């Protein structure tokens, strides 16, 4: 029981860190291209992770670990950051945060397909209700206005869920921070050249807010948040702890309103508060 509770606490810490990702990305893509933002954040995080791996003298992962590390990198290092950055050029961060409420359900599905977990039937009722609560709001409030961006965001969510499940499964062998560190290192030979090729023509017009957004998504969203998140998923169960992501929209909406002065409607709050109830139910029956 102590391990499960620790998993939920670690997972919650990861969600709190991740809640700033989309608002920070939206700030950063005002001055950086999505390709530069994606490759630069991965490069900065990878160099930091490699330093940590070298200083702590971590053993290299075995060859059998490489496919899972590659899928982790595809999902959380490349796929989600790139697709969400492109989508955020046309979506408000508040709208995309609500769409992100579908991520817990996708994570639970991959927990079954890739992690071998078998949650009880009532769990799926709460998971589906939480996803429907946020997904219905998104569909009614503007999915017709930007279908391309919404589809990109949905593709990003599927890839992210895959990366979460694969990374969490591997964390049981390698450790949480080691998995994201090795996944970043695996992607570095691709992301570093892309960073150099996509450099902005001039940096003097880049705002301080954009630099701060890049710093946040590089160090917190791409590295430190995963230290807690993968540890939580490995300890408490991928499907179960993954439902904590239903709280992320509620936290992110507050940040979007406070930092970006975006409007948060009563319907947004109602949808996210409904999701909070579903997290409690999912935790009970997972």
pLDDT digits (tens, 9 = 90+) for 17-28: 998 887 888 889
Task: Say how far apart CA 260 and CA 125 lie, in whole Å.
Answer: 34
What does the alpha-carbon distance between residue 190 and residue 39 come to, in Å, rounded to a whole number?
8
Residue 48 has pLDDT above 60, yes or no: yes
What the block records as the tokens of 175 is 């450790």
Between 278 and 151, the higher pLDDT residue: 151
The answer, yes or no, to whether residue 269 has pLDDT greater than 80, is: no
Looking at per-residue pLDDT, the higher value among 271 and 19 belongs to 19
What six digits make up the tokens of 60?
């290299």
**Comparison of pLDDT for 131 and 213, the residue scoring more:** 213
How long is the chain?
286
3-state secondary structure string, the chain? CHHHHHHHHHHHHHHHHHCCHHHHHHHHCCCCCHHHHHHHHHHHHHHHHHHHHHHCCCCCCCHHHHHHHHHHHHHHHHHHHHHHHHHCCCCCHHHHHHHHHHHHHHHHHHHHHCCCCCCCHHHHHHHHHHHHHHHHHHHHHCCCCCHHHHHHHHHHHHHHHHHHHHHHHHHHHHCHHHHHHHHHHHHHHHHHHHHHHCCCCCCCCCCHHHHHHHHHHHHHHHHHHHHHHHHHHHHHCHHHHHHHHHHHHHHHHHHHHHHHCCCCCHHHHHHHHHHHHHHHHHHHHC
- Identify which has the larger pLDDT, 112 or 99: 112
Predicted confidence (pLDDT) at residue 82 exceeds the cutoff of 70: yes
**pLDDT class for 93, splitting at 50, 70, 90?**
low
pLDDT score at 13: 93
pLDDT tens digit string along 169-189? Answer: 998 888 888 999 999 999 999
Q: Between 259 and 167, where is the model more confident? A: 167
- Report whether pLDDT(73) > 90: yes
User: Which pLDDT band holds residue 124 (cuts at 50, 70, 90)?
Assistant: confident
Average pLDDT, the chain: 85
Residue 199: its pLDDT value, please? 93
Out of 58-62, 96-100, 160-164, 217-221, which region has the weakest mean confidence (pLDDT)? 96-100
Distance CA 111, CA 81 (A): 21
């Amino acid at each position: 029981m102590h391990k499960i509770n620790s998993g939920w606490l670690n997972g919650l810490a990861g969600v709190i860190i991740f809640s700033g990702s989309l608002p920070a990305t939206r700030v950063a893509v005002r001055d950086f291209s999505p390709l530069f933002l994606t490759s630069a954040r991965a490069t900065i995080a990878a160099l930091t992770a490699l330093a940590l791996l070298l200083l702590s003298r971590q053993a290299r992962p075995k060859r059998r670990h490489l496919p899972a590390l590659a899928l982790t990198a595809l999902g959380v290092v490349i796929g989600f950051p790139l697709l969400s950055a492109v989508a955020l050029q046309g979506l408000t961060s508040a709208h995309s945060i609500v769409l992100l409420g579908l991520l817990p359900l996708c994570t639970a599905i991959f927990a079954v397909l890739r992690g071998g977990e078998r949650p009880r039937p009532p769990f799926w009722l709460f998971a589906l209700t939480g996803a429907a609560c946020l997904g219905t709001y998104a569909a009614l409030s503007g999915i017709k206005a930007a279908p391309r961006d919404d589809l990109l965001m949905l593709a990003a969510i599927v890839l992210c869920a895959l990366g979460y499940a694969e990374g969490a499964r591997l964390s049981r062998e390698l450790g949480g921070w080691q998995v994201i560190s090795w996944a970043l290192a695996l992607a570095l030979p691709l992301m570093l050249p892309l960073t150099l090729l996509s450099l902005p023509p001039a940096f003097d017009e880049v705002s301080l807010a954009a630099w701060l957004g890049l710093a946040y998504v590089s160090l917190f969203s791409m590295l430190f948040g995963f230290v807690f998140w993968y540890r939580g998923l490995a300890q408490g169960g991928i499907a179960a702890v993954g439902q904590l992501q239903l709280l992320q929209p509620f936290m992110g909406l507050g940040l979007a309103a406070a930092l970006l002065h975006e409007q948060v409607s009563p319907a947004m709050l109602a949808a996210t508060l409904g999701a909070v109830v579903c997290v409690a139910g999912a935790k009970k029956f997972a």
